Structure 1
Amino acid sequence: MILYFSGTGNSEYTARRIGKEIDDEVTNLFDKIRNMDYSEMKSERPWVIVVPTYAWRIPRIVSDWLEKTNFSGKKEVYFVMTCGGSIGNAGHYLKKLCAEKNMNYCGCAEIVMPENYIALFSTPTEDEALQIIEQAESVIDSTALHIKNGDKLPNREISFGDKMNSGMINALFYPMFVHAKKFYATDHCISCGKCVNVCPLKNVSIENGKPKWGDNCTHCMACICTCPKEAIEYGKHSKGLPRYNCLK
């Protein structure tokens, strides 16, 4: 069974492509995470977890859900992480997670997809994004073939920088940068409520016709990159940058 979480579509695109290649069920974790549904899941085929990379590890909202959910049936688990640059040393922490859950870690694949982290980085134009996705497809297909054949995913060479990014930098990054304080809506907002519906943590509400953000943000960028009027900004950084959503 393939389980995925996706803010702006990169991981969904990857999960669905793998699902097609290996002919397996694909399940979106959005509702389970949003509703804190930790009910048992069962699969007679290996688990494939497809997620974006947040500060060189899997999103904390996903790791929290995985820790609290019981998985029965197959013990083998593959991880596939989409990223704008690198997944760092994420595999080290995924191995520990699997050991804690008495599951068999089968490796972690790195799939470079278009950058969506508009809060800190530049997002690609449509043409640039399409080129990056095209380049990623062979890596996705190769990953799917390993899974289909029951092989472990190839190990990546891990540098000292990778260890630092996934370790100390990740630990500092969340409390320092992952918050919703800089989000705001401009006068282009039409009060459609789409930002409310795409938030996996129910952190956005509509007040006086405009979205308001709470304190429980994971920086998935779904709200800012899904807004049909591009009416959401993140401080000054996002101004003038293209909004990226893989599935638009």
Structure 2
Amino acid sequence: MILYFSGTGNSRYVARKIAQELNDELISLNQLIKEEKTDELTSTDKPFIFVCPTYAWRLPIVVTDFIKKTKFSGSNKVYFIMTCGEDTGKSINYIQKLCKYKNWQLKGMAEIKMPENYIALFPVPDKETSKQIIKEADKQIDKIISDINAENEFETITPSGLGGTIKSGITNVAFYKMFVNAKGFHYTDKCIGCGKCVELCPLNNINLKDKKPVWKNNCTHCMACICGCPTEAIEYKNKTQNKERYYLK
């Protein structure tokens, strides 16, 4: 069973390729979280495979919370695959703690570099550069598929030193406290009231009022609303103006 969380498509892309090659069930955590479903998930003869983006050098909090409160039965073997723009810091340490909490056997964690998509702070690469990054990622995805198919453990990621500890620890906590909220998201006169942002938000944090989006207070900064807007009508403060959007379908 492959379960993925994805704001702008990177992790969905990886998860789809794995599911197709392994002929395994593909489940969107976005949809389960959006529908507030915590029904038991069962995988009898295959490991659970989680594919998620890296948020401030850790698993997204919404994914960790979902895993903690959901019952998983059948296999106790699990793989984690994290997409990132740079690195995953010491997220492996937190994944190991999560697996201990769930009584899971961690078969490995892999990181896959994909195009930068956090346009609230960073520019995204141009389309040609993104294609090259994805092309390189495909090679790693093929190796991951081969390892999972053989039930091999992934090659061990050597956790970064003190810098990784700081990034996955202090920086992660500060990032969520200082940046991760919906304040600053707004629409421009390009908005056509299509409701795509409402549909894409995994936390049901956006409503339409008079055919225009209104943000509430529950946001994980997945960038789905801003990057998935068909008319590029959503901005974040003054940080995203004139930046290219990145959304991998």
TM-score normalised to structure 1 length? 0.97
* Aligned residue type for 1:209: K
Cα separation, 2, equivalents of 1:158 and 1:103:
21
Cα separation, 1, equivalents of 2:206 and 2:20:
34
Counterpart of 2:240 in structure 1 is 238
Question: 2:40·2:72 contact (CA, 8 Å) conserved in 1?
Answer: yes
Give the stretch that moved more between structures: 25-34 or 132-141: 25-34
Cα separation, 2, equivalents of 1:173 and 1:100:
25
Counterpart of 1:207 in structure 2 is 209
Cα separation, 2, equivalents of 1:177 and 1:144:
35
> Offset of 1:127 from its aligned partner?
1.4
- String of CA shifts for 1:216-237, please: whole Å, max 9, x gaps: 0000000000001001001111
RMSD: 0.9
Cα separation, 1, equivalents of 2:230 and 2:178:
29
Counterpart of 2:5 in structure 1 is 5
Counterpart of 1:34 in structure 2 is 34
Question: 1:115·1:123 contact (CA, 8 Å) conserved in 2?
Answer: yes
Cα separation, 2, equivalents of 1:152 and 1:128:
31
Counterpart of 1:138 in structure 2 is 139
Question: 1:22·1:145 contact (CA, 8 Å) conserved in 2?
Answer: no
Gaps of 5+ in 2: none
> Offset of 1:208 from its aligned partner?
2.6
Give the stretch that moved more between structures: 91-100 or 14-23: 14-23
> Offset of 1:209 from its aligned partner?
2.6
State how 1:1-248 maps to structure 2 within 5 Å.
Answer: 1-44=1-44, 45-159=46-160, 160-247=162-249
Question: 1:11·1:51 contact (CA, 8 Å) conserved in 2?
Answer: yes
- String of CA shifts for 1:101-154, please: whole Å, max 9, x gaps: 111111110000011101001112211211110111001111111111111111
TM-score normalised to structure 2 length? 0.97
> Offset of 1:17 from its aligned partner?
0.8
Cα separation, 1, equivalents of 2:107 and 2:76:
10
Instruction: Percent identity, please.
Output: 49
- String of CA shifts for 1:193-234, please: whole Å, max 9, x gaps: 000010000001111332111110000000000001001001
Q: Deviating runs (4+, > 4 A) in structure 1?
A: none
Cα separation, 2, equivalents of 1:132 and 1:31:
27
Cα separation, 2, equivalents of 1:148 and 1:23:
10
Question: 2:92·2:159 contact (CA, 8 Å) conserved in 1?
Answer: no
Cα separation, 1, equivalents of 2:138 and 2:148:
15
Q: How many residues align?
A: 247
Question: 1:203·1:216 contact (CA, 8 Å) conserved in 2?
Answer: yes
